[in-house]
Amino acid sequence: MLTFNNLTIGYNKHPVIHHLNMHIEKGASVAIVGPNGCGKSSLLKGIMSFIKPMEGSISIGIEKNKIAYLPQSSTVDKTFPMTTLELVASGLLYKKGFLSSLNDEDLDLVNTTLDKVGLKGMADEPLKALSGGQIQRALFARLIIQDADLILLDEPFNAIDYKTIVELLKIVRMWIDAGKTVVSVLHDIQQVRENFVYTAVLSRELVAYGLTKDVLNRENLEKAFNNSFYPHKDANICNK
Ligand SMILES: Nc1ncnc2c1ncn2[C@@H]1O[C@H](COP(=O)(O)OP(=O)(O)OP(=O)(O)O)[C@@H](O)[C@H]1O
């Protein structure tokens, strides 16, 4: 489904992810863990082609429109003039082209999905009227509507209350049980252990990748988190 071939990505010639070789099977649930600033978000952005590899490549075994992406909540512009319904319906853009071309069936699907994520009656609310947790529920509704085969989640439960986390985790498990490939950046080790079969421990370079039960251990976490961490702009230009 997804292969990183000697992948180096970074900014202004300075590497953030360094010579990554890793393969993710179709239908796998993969957590990406590692210290702040080690390149987890950059890796997801690389998969989305928002940033280009400095070296190596990313092979994706499906079409781009079969990938859904949840960005880190801090990057979502809540002042954007849009209703909850429009945000969720934008998950159909790949299929429909324009929101104006949505038919009654599409709108029914959006409204049913809003109910599913606990946002019944919120369709016409502007985004600025939603709490952080409600925005995250709406973004999950958009992911459901997209019905993608590969789902990329960047810290999906950051600053979200316990009840919302439990409900959103049920959606993630539903995707995994349905055979979708789910790759998620997470900081909560317990969440990883309980929900993700595979884990990649990153620290710019890959520290370990394999079954969560085998690789999510103190030794690998210490290797990743004890790395002396410098801002990536001070990283040597890669000559490997
Ligand atoms: N657009 C950018 N331009 C320049 N540098 C960037 C850019 N985005 C990220 N970086 C730098 O790349 C490095 C990795 O950032 P990234 O957001 O991928 O890390 P992360 O592991 O997701 O961190 P966190 O856990 O804090 O979200 C950091 O040093 C960051 O400052």
Query: Which tens digit of pLDDT belongs to each residue from 173-212?
Result: 999 999 999 999 999 999 999 999 999 999 989 999 999 9
Alpha carbon of 11 to ligand 1 centroid (Å): 9
Contact between residue 162 and residue 133 where contact means Cβ atoms under 8 Å apart: no
Distance CA 31, CA 197 (A): 8
More confident residue, 103 or 22: 22
pLDDT of residue 99: 64
pLDDT of residue 233: 57
Tokens of 184: 């998620």
pLDDT of residue 236: 59
Span 68-96, mean pLDDT?
Answer: 87
Distance CA 63, CA 107 (A): 25
pLDDT of residue 232: 56
pLDDT of residue 206: 95
Nearest atom (ligand 1) to Cα of 187: 25
Residue identifier of the C-alpha nearest atom 6 of ligand 1: 11
Q: Which residue has the tokens 């990554």?
A: 20
Given the cut 0.90, state whether the ipTM is greater than it.
yes
Q: Which CATH class is domain 1-62+150-157+181-240?
A: alpha beta
Alpha carbon of 178 to ligand 1 centroid (Å): 32
Residue identifier of the C-alpha nearest atom 17 of ligand 1: 41
Tokens of 97: 């082209």
Distance CA 78, CA 188 (A): 25
Q: How confident is the model at residue 94 (pLDDT cuts 50, 70, 90)?
A: confident
* % of the chain exceeding 70 in pLDDT: 92
Query: Which tens digit of pLDDT belongs to each residue from 7-30?
Result: 999 998 888 999 999 999 999 999
Can you give the residue ranges of every domain in the chain? 1-62+150-157+181-240
Q: How confident is the model at residue 143 (pLDDT cuts 50, 70, 90)?
A: very high
Query: Mean pLDDT of all residues in the chain?
Result: 91
Would the pLDDT of 107 be above 60?
yes
Ligand 1 residue neighbourhood (C-beta within 6 Å): 11, 16, 34, 36-42, 231-232
Span 112-139, mean pLDDT?
Answer: 94
